[in-house]
A = this chain, B = another copy of it.
Amino acid sequence: MSVLVALRTGATEVPGRGVVDLSGTIGKTPGTGFAWAGATYQVDRPVLSDFLGHLRRQAQIVTPKDAMYLLYLAGIGPGSRVAEAGSGSGALTTVLAYAVGDEGSVDSFDRRDDFLEVARRNVASAGLSGRTRFHRRDVATDGLEGGPFDAVVLDLPEPWEVLESAKATVRPGGRVATYTPTYNQLERTVRALREQGFQDVRSLELIERELHVGDGGTRPAFDMLGHTGFLSSGRRGP
């Protein structure tokens, strides 16, 4: 079991464990072990999978395989300025904010206050608030604002409604990437990307298959998530 807490001097409340003084671990090498109340613990620097593993969930969240590949399709890396709609529970926002690093930024849009509230808390728990701005806005009707962005990532039911605005706010050469669960949404999104003149339009899905290595040998796992979503992307021309 692991928990996600911010180290501070003085008492820290550790969910499910009570209050503990973690002052002594500050400045220590990540991964250092310490003893407390008769058990051994390890203070580690969290990585992306730790953040995603501790998310509060309000909406269905993107899977890591899809989130990581969206980064690739959208050309997102350290320094990127990214727009995202919608915020949802902030899972994808967290991945984006993690990947853009200190020099990058994420503008995340959602029309629902409850989603924004959860997303904001999740991004704050990951220590990524400094590079993330949340906006309450219905991008389907009012469009994205700000920019120019290096990339626009759309994780909402009707991405085609936002493509004109995405094209207007992403810089020339920038990418738009979308994530949609049904073939119908995928098809309509791809046709809209083409109509808007986006280049290098492509679509795919990633199927994750866990492998089980046991005493009896190695085989794919019996349990499997049959479907998550389809990814599409396009690149704005000059």
Q: A-side interface residues toward B, CB under 8 Å?
A: 29-33, 40, 42, 44-45, 47-50, 64-65, 68-69, 71-73, 75-79, 98-103, 148, 150, 171-175, 181-187, 190-191, 202-213, 216-227, 230, 232, 236-238
Contacts of A175 in B (CB 8 A): 47
| This chain's copy number in the assembly | 4
Who on chain B is nearest to A41 by CB?
A: B238
A211 touches B186 (CB 8 A): yes
Q: Can you name 30 A-B residue pairings with CB atoms under 8 Å?
A: A30-B173, A31-B172, A31-B174, A32-B172, A32-B238, A42-B173, A42-B237, A44-B172, A45-B150, A78-B98, A182-B219, A183-B183, A183-B219, A184-B216, A184-B217, A184-B218, A186-B211, A186-B218, A187-B213, A187-B218, A203-B213, A204-B208, A206-B206, A206-B209, A207-B209, A219-B227, A220-B227, A221-B227, A222-B226, A224-B224
Task: Give A62 Cβ to nearest chain B Cβ, in Å.
Answer: 12
Residues in B with CB closer than 8 Å to A99 are 77-78, 99
Chain A at the B interface: SS class? mixed
